[in-house]
Amino acid sequence: MTGSLFKANFWSTDILSTTGYDSIIQHLNNGRKNCKEFEEFLKERAAIEEKYGKDLLSLSRKKPCGQSEINTLKRALEVFKQQVDNVAQCHIHLAQTLREEARKMEDFREKQKQQRKKTETVMDAAHKQRNLQFKKTMDAKKIYEQKCRDKDEAEQAVHRSANVANQKQQEKLFVKLATSKTAVEDSDKAYMLHVNTLDKVREDWQSEHIKACEVLEAQECERINFFRNALWVHVNQLSQQCVKSDDMYEQVRKTLEMCSIEKDIEYFVNQRKTGQIPPAPIMYENFYCPQRNAAPPGKTTGPNLARRGPLPVPKSVPDDPDYSLVDDYSLLYQ
């Protein structure tokens, strides 16, 4: 940029006015403030990313998440925990990157501040010199105008006293007129000198104003470009963070695709199986006539275990005195 827009549009018809220059300076001050605000935004975003990363890291490392799972699902969970850990580390790294970008913005602001300070110093001096010379010129003009009025009054006095005043008074009036004419000539020369000096100062000031406009416009172009690029980089960093996170989570998805329900079931069976023979049926046992060699309840004596047969017929008959009927049996003592 050549500064043509600034130097062509920030003038004033008032020689003492600094409206155009002040407008440019105010705009650049606002631009510097905007850079400062973005710098603070980056710092706060960095703090958020760092806190999130640390909290996520603590969650990944301290909080159990399916710790008793086995085989393929266990491997998937291990990959999941590792990738969450990696995502947390990425957010912490992003926080460091954002702080570095904020530092770059701060350095840029300071650099422009120092560059502007040189231009503002020159312009302040030019404004002071212009204002001072303008005041001197106006003071010289007032003196010149007053001397001209004094001369005119002296001339009128001489004309009025031509037929009235005596010779001595007329001589005094002529001396006063001559003196006033000399004062007019001297004040006129001083006034002209100040006018010429002011014009030279005005030219110098205008030249410095044009240079300042060119420098400040170039600086503003640089600031806008830097700010735009900084914002572009910031958004790219956030997008890259999302891509990295998605890549890490994709590793989890791939591991989950390899997870096999059948293999996990088989793995559990092979690791924890307790036997393939179920318990035998619990058989009825008569309290009075237990079968010989009966196996304990719940266990078998062999693969060809026969079921218990009917009750044996007693050897004695009802007429046998050793045989007692149930009806004749009593638990009561006679």
What CATH code is carried by the domain that includes residue 254?
Answer: 1.20.1270.60
Q: What is the pLDDT of residue 231?
A: 97
Number of folded domains in the chain? 1
pLDDT digits (tens, 9 = 90+) for 234-267: 999 999 999 999 999 999 999 999 999 999 999 9
Residue 58 has pLDDT above 90, yes or no: yes
pTM: 0.73
Residues spanned by the domain of 44: 21-265
In a domain, 205, yes or no: yes
In a domain, 319, yes or no: no
Look over the chain and give the mean of its residue pLDDT values, rounded to a whole number: 87
Let me know if 284 is exposed, middle or buried by CB neighbors in 10 A (0-12, 13-18, 19+). exposed
Residue 106 has pLDDT above 90, yes or no: yes
Query: Which residues, 6+ apart, have CB-to-CB distance to 309 below 8 Å?
Result: none
In a domain, 316, yes or no: no
The closest of 16, 10, 14, 12 to 28, measured between CA atoms, is: 10
User: In 121-176, where do the E strands start and end?
Assistant: none
